[in-house]
Amino acid sequence: MSTTANRVGSVAVGFDAVGFSQDFPALHQLVHGKPLVYLDNAATSQKPRSVIDAITRFYEEDCSNIHRGVHLLSERATKAYEEVRLAVQQFIHAARPAEVIFVRGTTEAINLVAQSYGRTHVKTGDAVLVSAMEHHSNIVPWQILCEEKGSKLRVIPMNDRGELLLEEYEKLLTPETKLVAVAHVSNVLGTVNPVKQIIRMAHEYGIPVLVDGAQAVPHLQVDVQDLDCDFYAFSGHKMYGPTGIGILYGKKRLLEAMPPYQGGGDMISSVTFEKTTYNSLPHKFEAGTPNISGVIGLGAAIKYLARVGLDNVATHEHDLLAYATEQITRFSGVRVIGTAQAKAAVLSFVLDGIHPHDIGTILDHEGIAVRTGHHCAQPVMQFFGIPATTRASFALYNTEAEVDVLLRGIAKVQEMFA
């Protein structure tokens, strides 16, 4: 791929988004003859060169299986893999490395908790509580569990700004509620939920809380001890890391009492045909050869984010979102979906009389990558009475000038449909 394009400049002061964008090879290409403006970061972010190089280096120099071989390559790979566990521990401020479980992504993390913790603790007549703004991955695993157990899935309602109704939530914290599962940041609405308060309220009734942090970790500092969450699930690929790697954080006390999710190699201490003794944490939940290169790539992504500084990223993205929101609301016929007080990096909108699918195709021809559709959150679409939205979502490398390209694209869409 030899085609490159000059990236449009940033007007933001103090944060060099254009400079950082140089670290991301995929950003520098023409799409339909126009410089790529990548605004689909809530689906997946682009990867910096350091992440791509770390994965390549692993395969070129250290490729081997971990926790097994006595040879040098295996030793190096094992060390690199376990060092990333420590990096993740620090990244989310977990108390212990053993509380960091490597999984495929947020979806697998939630399924692990549903199948292991859920099947042990949720019984007939019990309830699992989710919110009205959940991604399908934080709905369906609980539905599968509830169907199997004869238990109920209950929903914390929200207002039309996309904010959860905490007084209604409190009423749902009944004795039959055995778990609360809630998004930290909504992938459609951008709402930053008050998860610390949600957790404190649940804990007053002795109910544990799982937080879906997939959309939060790229945008804000997460401290699982300060939140006091019982489980925290997130993916690497939305925070500049590779696909296919994610994290389940769980409190040691809970993880230790949970049965394994999958059986296989690495998760055992000893196996006979009569009895198997399971390995200790975190290995009990990491059956089989893991995504070693993915873990190593994730480690590089954490390093990259640490270098840029998550607080700087948060401020930059907040400025971009404020600018984009202010500008887009000047258009007639635009309705922003998700207008919560606290939002992060996501701007969903609909245009009067124009289907998001058409918007997406026309914007694509302007070089602008956005997501259109129901964003794996059909209940949110039903709540707002719309089939789909167009979603622009921001990352650390986006600029105000790119927001301007998006706004010109929207004007073109409206012109074509006028």
Contact residues for other proteins, defined by CB under 8 A: 1-3, 29-30, 32-33, 353-358, 361-362, 365, 372-374, 378, 381, 387-388, 416-417
CB closer to other proteins, 194 vs 373: 373
Nearest residue (CB) to other proteins, 308 versus 370: 370
- Of 113, 180, 114, 106, give the one whose Cα is nearest residue 137: 106
Which residue's CB is nearer to other proteins, number 243 or number 378?
378
Query: Closest separation between CB of residue 398 and other proteins, Å?
Result: 21
DSSP, collapsed to helix, strand or coil, labels residue 393 as strand
Separation between Cα atoms, residue 180 and residue 233, nearest integer Å: 13
User: Nearer to other proteins by C-beta: 29 or 44?
Assistant: 29
CB of 133 to other proteins, least distance (A): 17
Q: Following CA atoms 318, 321, 325, 327 in sequence, which dihedral angle do they give, to the nearest 10 degrees?
A: 110
Tokens linked to 394: 């921001």
CB of 353 to other proteins, least distance (A): 8
- Residue closer to other proteins (CB basis): 78 or 348: 348
Give the nearer residue to other proteins in terms of CB position, either 172 or 376: 376
Q: Check: CB of residue 369 under 8 Å from CB of residue 39.
A: yes
CA–CA distances in Å: residue 307 to residues 236, 311, 376, 384: 17, 11, 32, 39
Spatial contact of 162 and 347, defined as CB atoms under 8 Å apart:
no
Adjacent-strand bridge partners of 234? 247
164 and 131 in contact (C-beta within 8 Å)?
Answer: yes
Instruction: Return the DSSP state at 336.
Output: E
Greatest alpha-carbon pair distance for the chain in Å reads 73
Phi and psi dihedrals of 283, rounded to 5? -65, -25
Question: Shortest Cβ distance from residue 34 to other proteins (Å)?
Answer: 10
Six-digit token string for 99: 């509380």
Q: Is 229 a catalytic residue?
A: no
Cβ contact 253:111 at 8 Å: no
Direct distance between the N- and C-terminal alpha carbons of the chain, in angstroms, rounded to an integer: 38
Residue the block writes with tokens 């949720």? 122
Catalogue the active-site residues: 376
